[in-house]
Amino acid sequence: MSILYKVQIGAYKEKANAESMLKKLRGAGFDAIIVNQNGYMKVQCGAFENQDNAKKLMHNLEKHGFKDSIIVSVKTETKPKKSVGAQKVFDLMKPYIDSKTAHKDFVKGYNAFIEEYNKKTDSKHGKIGMSNAWCTEFVELIFYKAGYLDLIGYGKRARNLYAIAKEKGTWKSGTDDIIFGDIVIYQDKSGTPNHTEFALGGNKFISGNYNGGVHYRTRKSLGTVKGRIRPKYPKD
């Protein structure tokens, strides 16, 4: 384990208040994010191993009028070497990323997967059409191609993967330690899981069913993240 020091400018119950502060900070030139934790939306800047660097940032924030900031410490796992298993999943996603035919290719591949999966498991899961949402299904297809579907289970919807992960013990709430290879689940205002992405680490993701295809996505806020699944990839 290691400790990172962050500068926290505020913790809010209301999303609008957190986003207002985020906008002010970004307008002043500070790289800030929203972290959803313990029922609060926390607006934070920086992440330093050296506490003195966090103090310097806090003083700089004060000079710009942000006078109520505090330094918070966060325990994190030592940054691991990228898993070969996670890299295999990422490599299988690459042909879809920014491809103009990603949606069409996904539907074709997913329906072939379902046909094969139904035969193997004596199931009757339905195929997918071009009008269906497919963020979670994209992740499932790639894990199937990698031979890792059993690591996340098959559930079709984000809420199903969330339930399966809790049973498997691979679920963790919050956003503190998202790493390469995690499956991040988002939620709506009622807390219901509603979207799935593959994490590249921090606030960078690969998202299916995003802008009509599969694209890299850098999120300014992680306020809608419910948590993440960390698949138990085969040992490298």
- pLDDT per position as a tens digit, 29-79: 998 999 988 889 999 999 888 999 999 999 999 999 998 899 999 876 555
* Residue 81 pLDDT > 80: no
Mean pLDDT of the chain: 92
Other Cβ atoms within 10 Å of 169 Cβ, number: 9
Asked if 134 contacts 110 with a C-beta cutoff of 8 angstroms, the reply is yes
Q: How far apart are the C-alpha atoms of 30 and 22, rounded to whole Å?
A: 9
- What lies within 8 Å, CB to CB, of 220 at 6+ separation is 22, 26, 33, 203
Give residue 148's pLDDT.
Answer: 96
Q: What is the percent of the chain with per-residue pLDDT over 70, rounded to a whole number?
A: 97
Q: Is the pTM of this model over 0.75?
A: no
Task: Give the helix, strand, coil percentages of the chain, each rounded to 5.
Answer: 35, 30, 35
DSSP conformation letters of 136-161 = HHHHHHHHHHHT-HHHH---SSHHHH
Q: What is the percent of the chain with per-residue pLDDT over 90, rounded to a whole number?
A: 80
Going by pLDDT thresholds of 50, 70 and 90, the confidence category of residue 83 is confident
Left, alpha or beta for 218 (phi > 0: left; psi -120 to 50: alpha)? beta
Give residue 227's pLDDT.
Answer: 95
Structure tokens given for 219? 């999120």
Going by pLDDT thresholds of 50, 70 and 90, the confidence category of residue 95 is very high
* Residue 96 pLDDT > 90: yes
* Residue 150 pLDDT > 70: yes
Give residue 191's pLDDT.
Answer: 92
Give residue 229's pLDDT.
Answer: 97
Going by pLDDT thresholds of 50, 70 and 90, the confidence category of residue 174 is confident
Q: How far apart are the C-alpha atoms of 87 and 110, rounded to whole Å?
A: 21
* Residue 236 pLDDT > 60: no
Give residue 106's pLDDT.
Answer: 97
Give residue 61's pLDDT.
Answer: 95
* Residue 176 pLDDT > 90: no
pLDDT single digits (tens) 192-235 = 999 999 999 889 999 999 999 999 999 988 989 999 999 999 87
Candidates 3, 21, 134; CA nearest to 67 is 21
Give residue 47's pLDDT.
Answer: 86
